[in-house]
Amino acid sequence: MTSPKLNIATKFSSFSNGVAYVVGVVAKGEKVILADTAVEVSTIEQLDLSLLGAKSSLESVTRLAAPNGAVYLLIGLGTAELDSTALRSLAGAASRNLAEFKEIVFGLPTDSKEQTAAILEGSLLGSYQFGAYRSLNKLAPVQLAKITVISAHKPTPATLARAEILSESTSAIRDLVNSPANDIYPQSLAAAVQKLARGTGVTVEIWDEKRLAAEGFGGIIAVGKGSSRPPRMVRIDYKPKNAKAHLAFVGKGITFDSGGLQIKPATSMIGMKYDMTGAATVANAAIAIAKLQLPVRVTAWMCIAENLVSGTSTRPSDVIKIRNGKTVEVINTDAEGRLVLADGLSIASEAKPDLIVDVATLTGASSIALGHRYTGLMGHGLGVEKAKAAAEAAGELVWHMPLPADLRVSLNSDIADIANAKFGAKGGMLLGGLFLQEFIGKKAKGNDPIDWAHLDIAPSANNDQAPWGYNAKGPTGVMLRTLVSLAESYC
Ligand code: BES
Ligand code: ZN
Ligand code: ZN
């Protein structure tokens, strides 16, 4: 889909045939009534909207006929405050329900330029769909060619371009994650990112399996060696001349996680093509930041391998050596994400960046703790507060979780420096964080570790519940906007 034209109108003009006009509805006692809107509503003002099926609950949608062959989309505003985050989400929900319209006009109330931009952003994010693998029941292509927000608060052209870049990059993540593991394997994922990066001003470097082994990436090699499709490491480097800081992003890129020899049960393996979401996210974040030409250096590391079962797979109790020299006893071959990330965090640390952020579908335990929408956030130094503020600015949900030192004993190994897991241990999400922490290098000066944030996106990467906000069922592209906001916080 080519990006729709983004338009701001200061006031409502007239109804056009085939255009959808989005108007909020709220509860008033037992009734459902129209919320404040700039859209002309005289033909529906007197109607009993409840009898027509309209509901005020958040994101419920009802279509009504408007003059001149136009259509109203009434959308429930719920009871929450209509800030940028809520408006982005509502605009996304409206757009998800208007795929066959060429133009959408939003008559939701706005108080600021940010809110106008949030509506445009949400509308773009919500108009994503993925039909690449259908030969029957093909999806009608998204028709949307123009999005109009009626508002007195007009964002700058740069802000409009930003909304387009964020949506493009989010779609790129969703496309990669939706694509099945028979097409997206280490080599093809690396190639796909190389293609996405073309012309954006980043440099892409790819480590093949020989170079990975020669340069001591024992985690990536160990995880990838059960597959006939060898592992890769990809570095995407955006290095502007005027860089005010250097951020390193590290992403888990398991193109399929069978669990390895300690194989997953049949049902748990469904969805494991999503296990490369972290790598797709960090790569596209670096590319988005380059397209925005932010004065911040970003180095993204994609740690890519396929975790399969074969005569060459890593065995339970094997001991491997990570890039930074630490040895790991592999107690559970299904705790593979932390092994590839250990190499990624080690090499990312070598350049002494100001901040390291890793993004990973790391633990099932994070979903048990946080449900379906929140990303687990752990870290040390300035990492947690920087990531939290960035998520807040981007309107994404993160929850700060601790890294309790007393749990570290669960990772003691009888023969190696550390074990990758312990059966029956409590706090699985936190143990994942504690393991990764061991591979964050020291700052250039002093003895402190480099500031670090760990984002466990296992709960939030894949929306397997009903569609909500700008998320269809399937990959969400979550944390892309947080990483971009994070880079902006250094400008
Ligand atoms: N990729 C999984 C985590 C996952 C599970 C992501 C469900 C999304 C949905 C990860 O590699 C894994 O298998 N983790 C283990 C860790 C354990 C063996 C320490 C888990 O969560 O059970
Ligand atoms: Zn696993
Ligand atoms: Zn995994």
CATH number of the CATH domain containing 367 = 3.40.630.10
Distance of CA 414 from the midpoint of ligand 3 (Å): 25
475: left (phi over 0), alpha (psi -120 to 50) or beta: beta
pLDDT in tens, 192-208: 999 999 999 999 999 99
Residues 179 and 295 in one domain: yes
Closest-lying ligand to the alpha carbon of 361? Answer: 1
Distance of CA 282 from the midpoint of ligand 2 (Å): 20
Q: Which of 154, 188, 223 is the last residue of a domain?
A: 154
Of ligand 1's listed atoms, the one at least distance from the Cα of 268 is 7
Q: Which of 98, 124, 154 is the last residue of a domain?
A: 154
Distance of CA 337 from the midpoint of ligand 2 (Å): 6
The model's pTM: 0.98
- Picking from 385, 377, 192, the residue whose alpha carbon sits closest to that of residue 287 is 192
Q: Which of 120, 154, 188 is the last residue of a domain?
A: 154
DSSP state of 141: P
Residues 350 and 219 in one domain: yes
> In the beta sheet, which residues pair with residue 243?
none
Residues 410 and 313 in one domain: yes
Pocket test for ligand 1, best of 257, 258, 329, 363 (most atoms within 8 A of CB): 363
**What CA–CA distance (Å, rounded) separates 64 from 25?**
13
Find out whether 95 and 59 touch, Cβ atoms under 8 Å: no
Cα dihedral: 35, 36, 40, 43 (round 10): 40
Q: What are phi and psi of 164, to 5 degrees?
A: -65, -45
Residues 37 and 179 in one domain: no
pLDDT in tens, 70-117: 999 999 999 989 999 999 999 999 999 999 999 999 999 999 999 999
Q: What is the CATH number of the domain that holds 144?
A: 3.40.220.10
Please enumerate in sequence order all residues whose Cβ is within 8 A of that of 247, keeping only pairs 6 or more positions apart, or say none.
Answer: 296, 297, 298, 299, 353, 354, 355, 356, 357, 486, 487, 490
Please enumerate in sequence order all residues whose Cβ is within 8 A of that of 388, keeping only pairs 6 or more positions apart, or say none.
Answer: 377, 398, 400
Closest CA to ligand 1's atom 5: 364
Residues 281 and 377 in one domain: yes
Whose structure tokens read 């393991």? 435
Residues 210 and 275 in one domain: yes
pLDDT computed for residue 298 by the predictor: 99
**Can you give the residue range of the structural domain that contains 448?**
163-488
For the segment 355-380, the average pLDDT, to the nearest whole number, is 98
pLDDT computed for residue 128 by the predictor: 96
Number of domains within the chain: 2
Residue 68: pLDDT band by 50, 70, 90 thresholds?
very high
pLDDT computed for residue 143 by the predictor: 85
Give, in order, the Cα–Cα distances in Å from 432 to each of 144, 307, 356, 364, 420: 42, 18, 16, 11, 8
Report the 10 Å Cβ neighbour count for 443: 16
Runs of H (alpha helix) within 151-241 = 157-178, 186-197, 209-214, 218-224
Closest CA to ligand 1's atom 16: 335
Residue 447: pLDDT band by 50, 70, 90 thresholds?
very high
pLDDT computed for residue 1 by the predictor: 59
Residues 297 and 407 in one domain: yes
338 is known as an active-site residue: yes
Share of the chain above pLDDT 90, in %: 98
**What CA–CA distance (Å, rounded) separates 56 from 134?**
35
Residues 94 and 181 in one domain: no
Q: Roughly what angle, to the nearest 10 degrees, separates helices 113-126 and 84-96?
A: 30
Distance of CA 413 from the midpoint of ligand 2 (Å): 19
Residues 203 and 143 in one domain: no
Find out whether 16 and 68 touch, Cβ atoms under 8 Å: yes
Side chain identity, residue 304: I
pLDDT in tens, 7-39: 999 999 999 999 999 999 999 999 999 999 999
Residues 212 and 322 in one domain: yes
**What CA–CA distance (Å, rounded) separates 308 from 227?**
5
264 is known as an active-site residue: yes
- Picking from 450, 471, 452, the residue whose alpha carbon sits closest to that of residue 462 is 471
Residues 417 and 478 in one domain: yes
Closest CA to ligand 1's atom 22: 364
**What CA–CA distance (Å, rounded) separates 256 from 253?**
9
DSSP state of 168: H
pLDDT computed for residue 141 by the predictor: 81
Residues 269 and 383 in one domain: yes
Site residues for ligand 1, CB cut-off 6 Å: 257, 275, 332, 334-337, 361, 363-365, 421, 428, 458
Q: Which of 229, 323, 338, 481 is catalytic?
A: 338
**What CA–CA distance (Å, rounded) separates 360 from 276?**
8
Closest CA to ligand 1's atom 17: 335
Please enumerate in sequence order all residues whose Cβ is within 8 A of that of 392, keeping only pairs 6 or more positions apart, or say none.
Answer: none
Pocket test for ligand 1, best of 334, 423, 462 (most atoms within 8 A of CB): 334
Q: Which tokens go with 6? A: 């983004």
**What CA–CA distance (Å, rounded) separates 308 from 259?**
7
DSSP state of 297: E
Distance of CA 272 from the midpoint of ligand 1 (Å): 9
